[in-house]
Structure 1
Amino acid sequence: MSFENLKPLVTAIVAKENTSRDEKLLAICQLLADAVEYYNWVGYYFANHEAKTLHLGPYVGAETDHTIIPFGKGICGQVAVSNSNFVVPDVAAQDNYIACSFTVKSEIVVPLFVNGINIGQIDIDSHVLDPFTEADERFLEFVNQEVGRLFL
């Protein structure tokens, strides 16, 4: 399914009534994992700015031991500091990478802003080398813009 076709589905999940925030986040993760062939692990991490840590939120994919990540550590931790998208075409080429599984070949992390503050991020792992394009970045920015409404 194309990113343009996925956008109204994401918006509908965010707008769904009588559903908790975590249920909506999980539904978005599931939608993306099901609809995009190379999205093999999709999840959210949320920032604790006092402790300078990220905490795992809803996700779809293989279980992970990385439930708390210090700011600056790994791809997610670096995004917590940089406030910028981070696309890793080949995780084996990254010095500051936290290995989740030997099957993960690439990763994309896009920060989630609410009122100008980076409150977390969407993290996607792929079992394919270098699948992420600028279209993925723009789409995930849209997803996070919609998700941001859940925190207002």
Structure 2
Amino acid sequence: MAETLDINANADRQQQYTDLLPQLRGLISGEPNLTANLANLAAALRQSFGFFWVGFYLVDGDELVLGPFQGDIACTRIGFGQGVCGAAWQEATTQWVPDVDAFPGHIACSSQSRSEVVVPVLVDDEVVAVLDIDSDQLDDFTEADVEGLQAIASLCSELFLTPAV
């Protein structure tokens, strides 16, 4: 298991994600517990990029339920199709929102959140969770963030195939 992350703060975001992905794979390698792995992934993303809020919502029936996260207190349950997270679940597509106040039906778990990216975690084309990243800055995410977070969500998909301990 990796104990530290080696991210070049001077590299561009695309390179940072490229460097981070194998380290994340090493971080979760050999650990079968879903909660532990999601918690470490959330912590690694926040530590690497300084995002305002990083976390997972897990599909539980007809709701998303708060999972491991890093940041301020968050909404505990989100309905199907509600807010940015619910839209990512309903549409099974990444939601890239430069200004959350302009998103119809946005759920303000924190008034400090200004922009957001939510990536569905898919197993056999079914959404099992979403990876939610919030920034306290408007239009803070780039195409490199979206692509990097999609690669990390793909890595997360593998965790849902492993039985939890």
Q: Where do 5+ consecutive residues of structure 1 fail to align?
A: none
Q: Does 1:144 pair with 2:156?
A: no
TM-score, reference length from structure 1: 0.91
1:58 aligned residue: 68
Q: Where do 5+ consecutive residues of structure 2 fail to align?
A: 1-6, 8-15
Alignment of 1:1-152 (within 5 A): 1=7, 2-17=16-31, 20-37=33-50, 39-48=51-60, 51-64=61-74, 66-152=75-161
State the SS of the aligned residue for 2:109: coil
- Kept in 2: contact 1:45–1:56 (CA 8 A): yes
Distance 1:11 1:72 in 2: 31
Q: Which amino acid aligns with 1:3?
A: Y
Which shifted more, 19-28 or 78-87?
A: 19-28
2:13 aligned residue: none
Q: Which amino acid aligns with 1:12?
A: G
How many aligned residue pairs are there?
A: 147
Distance 1:132 1:16 in 2: 32
Q: CA deviation at 1:95?
A: 2.2
Q: Which amino acid aligns with 2:54?
A: V
Distance 2:28 2:143 in 1: 24
Distance 2:30 2:72 in 1: 27
Q: CA deviation at 1:14?
A: 2.3
4+ long deviations beyond 4 Å: none
Q: CA deviation at 1:3?
A: 1.0
RMSD over equivalenced CA pairs, Å: 1.2
Q: Which amino acid aligns with 1:72?
A: G
Q: CA deviation at 1:23?
A: 0.9
